[in-house]
Amino acid sequence: MHQPDPPPAPKPLRADAARNRAKLLAAATELFGERGLDAPLEEIARRAGVSIGTLYNHFPSREAFWEAIFPARLAALEQLTETALAAPDAWDGFVAYLEGLFALQAEDQGLNDAVAQRFRAAGEVEQACNRGFRHAELLIQRARDSGQLRPDFEAADLVTLSWAMSQVIRESMETAPDAWRRCLAFFLDGLRTGAAHPIEVPPLPQGQPGEVTRSR
């Protein structure tokens, strides 16, 4: 009887390797945050003070970086959802969630790109996305049930909204970093039950449940 090999033994790194890996991760986090998911890998290496070869040694692809970086971000998001779900008022919780989400995007171009569909999630990241999306659905449900969020607002509409805000954030980041808040405020006023007028167009068809991401 052999062990059910739990995690397949991530053998220990040599000291220098571990150091370099950490520097690369820091540099990548920083650069993706500043310049988005397309930031050149060569500059990440430069910023980490490491050769391009070493970079590829640790992270064989751009996606490998994402997989190493996003879980932390997504955890912050999950945290945010918890808090929002715990808010005494359903509408307030819903609003707090949106504001928190977009504030995160505004702080991190990489996350903003991710939300704006500029990468294809897989594996661990995909799982986390799905979880996050399902939680957001709860929030929406709750706000709808309380009678404050218009009944025709669906989870899929959250995706569209995120796309929209991502561009506002991207464009205004430097000149007017709070512009997205104003835009969101207008939008939110349209989401209140009292404001609702009938809408003809159906929501986005969602592929898999929680499919927030597709190749660009």
Query: Does residue 153 interact with a copy of itself by CB under 8 A?
Result: yes
Q: Locate 5 and state its tokens.
A: 């090999």
Exposed e or buried b for every residue in 72-83, given b needs 16+ CB within 10 A? ebbeebeebbee
- Find the binder of a copy of itself among 43, 124, 176, 209 (CB under 8 A): 176
**What residue 40 binds from DNA, a copy of itself, none (CB within 5 to 8 A, per partner kind)?**
DNA
Question: If 0-12 CB within 10 Å is exposed, 13-18 middle and 19+ buried, where does residue 178 land?
Answer: exposed
Query: Does residue 197 interact with a copy of itself by CB under 8 A?
Result: yes
Cα 48 to the center of its chain, rounded Å? 24
Q: Which stretch binds a copy of itself (CB under 8 A): 52-60, 64-72, 98-106, 200-208?
A: 200-208
Q: What separation in angstroms does the CA of 179 have from each of 148, 154, 170?
A: 25, 25, 10
User: Is 20 or 112 the residue whose CB approaches a copy of itself more closely?
Assistant: 112
d(Cα 53, Cα 149) in Å, to the nearest integer?
52
- Find the binder of a copy of itself among 12, 186, 208, 215 (CB under 8 A): 186
Q: Which stretch binds DNA (CB under 7 A): 53-61, 103-111, 125-133, 187-195?
A: 53-61
Q: Which residues would be at the binding site for a copy of itself (CB under 8 A)?
A: 116-117, 150, 153, 157, 160-161, 163-168, 170-172, 175-176, 178-179, 181-183, 185-192, 194-197, 199-205, 214
